[in-house]
Structure 1
């Protein structure tokens, strides 16, 4: 058994007719991979391990013969690195490094932080970061939705889009907050104060801080959407330009502050 043959056997089609005939080969291939990589503390950083298909990595991690201090050790460092990358990709990473290439998600990742303050027990901050390339791809009429997130039992989403400002007749960047039409909640509506903020570089008055761009309040029910079609009060070309103050390391940093009114 060799690495190439082991990978070949594990990728064979698993049809009912072939299952009995190829099962011994599959078992032998898994045993070989486990024997080769059973000491993960020594080989975890090797490019050879990182290049293995997912099914082969699963076969290795499923083995009881791994030489690790505890199960917490298995892939922990890689998981932490992946989570940190999704939160804010380091600008210094090479774009073609396969270990850190981010997938083209249809729904964008958001972070939700509940702020516990004595006078505001239901205050949330939702982070919604977009790459310059993602923003550029919205032109002329594209939309990008966030993953649904919850405020208590109520589901919400954020939506970024490029749209036409009817008053000035130019394209611009819009940001919206909504409650899905099929959202399930124990209550029929939810009153929320919302504020859209964005991070900007100097020469804004407060360097690198999140500045308020739009705010209001609304009682949300299923299908309710609020927001601003021209959140930055500028045409699209100015918003997306290379010298735009809104992008830091080619990332647009947005935060939506939400307070549930009780």
Structure 2
């Protein structure tokens, strides 16, 4: 016999159980206390140290009025209904989550499993995903609840992967949502500098108290920033700023470790003490302005040698028919010898022959262009067969755009399929340029 409606008209009735022979060997002990009354008792000090004088030994965690975790009345009645019927009357995500918390508190494992099954079968929304991420649960059903949390994270990361599009909406997200989205490597952003700026802006808006804001930034938010892919100019600002929001010792140590890793990658790969969070620091997101490595010299002539790695998947997007495809990849802006320069890789189409090829160009930004800038530059690519960089283009020239539209001298289809150029799926490029002459306007 299942529970019938109560005389009050709300919720199931359990009167059938008290005279039923099948329940004669059970003791049902309930302590239902109104939330307001319970809070008054705690405030008045009648429950010192969060203990109820009526609780017996062994009952910890099972009394409904425990000050450590109040249970929603509706969820509790649903839990009782499940105990006697094996069914729940609601599939509303918020209530199911309350029932899950009640079942977790009273260690009703079958109900916890049933709630997790129902929740994972429901279509996710932003609201429900954020609720799941903020759900406190014991270790009784860690695997089932973890699957729910993973699904919620994947939903948010996929829906909000375009940072530029959703950055204003993300300002209203709670901390758990920010952590889930910004821990993703698939996040699409112009440059990692924007992530650092957003974290500061979000924390200042959500945590007005300096000490709390500083703690949240240091322990929860800044570890999500990929400092290894930030521009040199912004890294320098971070190292020299005197803002009280951040723990400068912690950030400076993090940046120093990253720079050492980039300078001596072979030693870092052999370090077994490197944890997952540290490894994540070096994973590239999907950047519109892609970072590069460089070595700069001031004399006898200003010279810069840059190394730029492009994935095959990134290059494939140049030749895509999709509306949101990327027609080009642009490097970080470089500042050297009074010049602002950057590299551009793209699919070049010859308008006469209609042939598509891989093009690589060096640009001097208009704001810093001099009347006469003469550069000697060389572009090279590493090959798998020779295991070294092979020069592809070398010239001395003037202008604000220098480069080659047919870098490899082969059609696009041949280039993109060439495993001798894409070593383990990565194209390794080198650009070496020297400023021979520059004169003021």
2:392 corresponds to 1:216: no
Residue number in structure 1 paired with 2:367: 183
Contact 1:190–1:260, Cα closer than 8 Å, also in 2: yes
1:112 aligned residue (269, 294, 305) = 294
Residue number in structure 1 paired with 2:253: 76
TM-superposed deviation, 1:27 = 5.1
1:105-126 deviations in Å (ceiling 9; x for gaps):
1111123312467xx4322212
> Greater helix share, 1 or 2?
2
The structure-2 alpha-carbon separation of the partners of 1:82 and 1:131, relative to structure 1 and needing over 3 Å to count, comes to: farther
Matching of residues 1-262 of structure 1 within 5 Å = 30=212, 52-53=220-221, 72-73=249-250, 76-77=253-254, 80-81=257-258, 84=261, 101-115=283-297, 120-140=300-320, 142-166=327-351, 169-180=354-365, 182-184=366-368, 187-202=370-385, 207-220=386-399, 224-241=400-417, 243-262=418-437
Q: 2:432, 2:337 → 1: CA distance? A: 15
1:29-60 deviations in Å (ceiling 9; x for gaps):
939x95xx9xx9xxxxxxxx6xx345999xxx
TM-superposed deviation, 1:199 = 0.8
The structure-2 alpha-carbon separation of the partners of 1:75 and 1:166, relative to structure 1 and needing over 3 Å to count, comes to: same
For the pair shown, the structure with the greater C-alpha radius of gyration is 2
The structure-2 alpha-carbon separation of the partners of 1:53 and 1:133, relative to structure 1 and needing over 3 Å to count, comes to: same
Contact 2:310–2:426, Cα closer than 8 Å, also in 1: yes
The structure-2 alpha-carbon separation of the partners of 1:256 and 1:84, relative to structure 1 and needing over 3 Å to count, comes to: same
Q: 2:281, 2:397 → 1: CA distance? A: 43
The answer for unaligned runs of 5 or more in structure 2 is: 1-67, 70-133, 136-172, 178-205, 226-242, 270-275, 321-325
Q: 2:224, 2:329 → 1: CA distance? A: 34
> Greater strand share, 1 or 2?
1
Q: 1:63, 1:261 → 2: CA distance? A: 44
Residue number in structure 2 paired with 1:17: none
Q: 1:200, 1:167 → 2: CA distance? A: 30
The structure-2 alpha-carbon separation of the partners of 1:158 and 1:83, relative to structure 1 and needing over 3 Å to count, comes to: farther
Contact 1:10–1:29, Cα closer than 8 Å, also in 2: no
Q: 2:395, 2:314 → 1: CA distance? A: 27
TM-superposed deviation, 1:26 = 6.9
Q: 2:280, 2:423 → 1: CA distance? A: 23
Contact 1:9–1:29, Cα closer than 8 Å, also in 2: no
1:56-75 deviations in Å (ceiling 9; x for gaps):
99xxx9689x9xxxx64557
Contact 1:176–1:226, Cα closer than 8 Å, also in 2: yes
Contact 2:210–2:245, Cα closer than 8 Å, also in 1: no
1:204-224 deviations in Å (ceiling 9; x for gaps):
xxx21111001111123xxx2
Aligned-partner SS, 2:397 = strand
The structure-2 alpha-carbon separation of the partners of 1:166 and 1:159, relative to structure 1 and needing over 3 Å to count, comes to: same
Aligned-partner SS, 1:121 = coil
Q: 1:199, 1:29 → 2: CA distance? A: 50
Aligned-partner SS, 1:210 = strand
Residue number in structure 2 paired with 1:16: none
Contact 2:344–2:360, Cα closer than 8 Å, also in 1: yes
| Aligned-CA RMSD value | 4.6
Contact 1:10–1:56, Cα closer than 8 Å, also in 2: no
The structure-2 alpha-carbon separation of the partners of 1:72 and 1:213, relative to structure 1 and needing over 3 Å to count, comes to: same
Number of positions where the alignment pairs a residue of Structure 1 with one of Structure 2: 209
